[in-house]
Structure 1
Amino acid sequence: TKRFGAVRALGGVTLDFPAGQVTALMGENGAGKSTLLKILTGDHQPTEGHVVLDGERVDLASPAQARAAGIRIIPQEPEIIPHVSVAENVYAGSL
């Protein structure tokens, strides 16, 4: 769950992302997709609940911690670096 003041942006979300697979997250505007991704990338902290990675609870207090945990997100409006591979674009924050 994530709240911004009185606004509940996410409520009781539970998701599984299988390791080694690409997962698409889709939904209507205002459904909370960006908020969820910001929690997974350490940009926001959940108001309630937690993130579990490989069966262990993790605190993703910063984007650096999320990257160190192996979490990579490709946003809907990616800032693509021309003339490099897809993998290099995905890992650009770590290079």
Structure 2
Amino acid sequence: MQLNGLRATGLSKSFAGVPALRDVSLDFPAGAVTALMGENGAGKSTLIRILGGDHRPDTGRLELDGVVLEPATPADARAAGIRVIGQEPEIVPHVSVAENVYLG
């Protein structure tokens, strides 16, 4: 099987009628580390939560290696091999960055 990576196409998400994401499309190549940067309110956290299975998009879809992916929970995303790290400075205090990454 050829590993293409994760593709987000046309993702949109609103909360109480307020749009957080509008028609976002991105490719995340297999085996690469990708960083998202942007201004406050740009939708970075919402996108990360969709990729990580915390939120479901209102529209759009995710594909992993060409197969539609619909993670309903963070465990589903992890089982598919998706790892996300939010912008919080520490996930577990007094533990290294590498150890936080591998906590799962």
TM-score above 0.5: yes
Query: Higher relative contact order by CA 8 Å / sep ≥ 6: 1 or 2?
Result: 2
Segments of 5+ residues of structure 1 without an aligned counterpart are none
Normalised TM-score (structure 1) = 0.87
Letter in 2 for 1:43: D
- What CA distance in whole angstroms lies between the structure 1 residues aligned with 2:24 and 2:96? 35
TM-score calculated relative to the size of structure 2? 0.80
**Cα distance in 1 between the residues matched to 2:43 and 2:87:** 14
Q: Give the alignment of 1:12-51 within 5 angstroms.
A: 12-51=23-62
1:60 paired residue number: 71
CA RMSD across the alignment: 1.6
Q: How many residues align?
A: 92
SS of 1:49 mapped into structure 2 = strand
Read off the aligned partner of 2:76 and give its amino acid letter: Q
Q: Say which structure is richer in strand.
A: 2
Report deviation, 1:82: 4.0
Shift of 1:66: 0.4
Aligned-residue sequence identity (percent) comes to 60
Moved beyond 3 Å, runs of 4+? 80-85
Instruction: Report what 1:79 is aligned to.
Output: 91
| Shift, 1:65, TM fit | 0.2
Gaps of 5+ in 2: 1-11
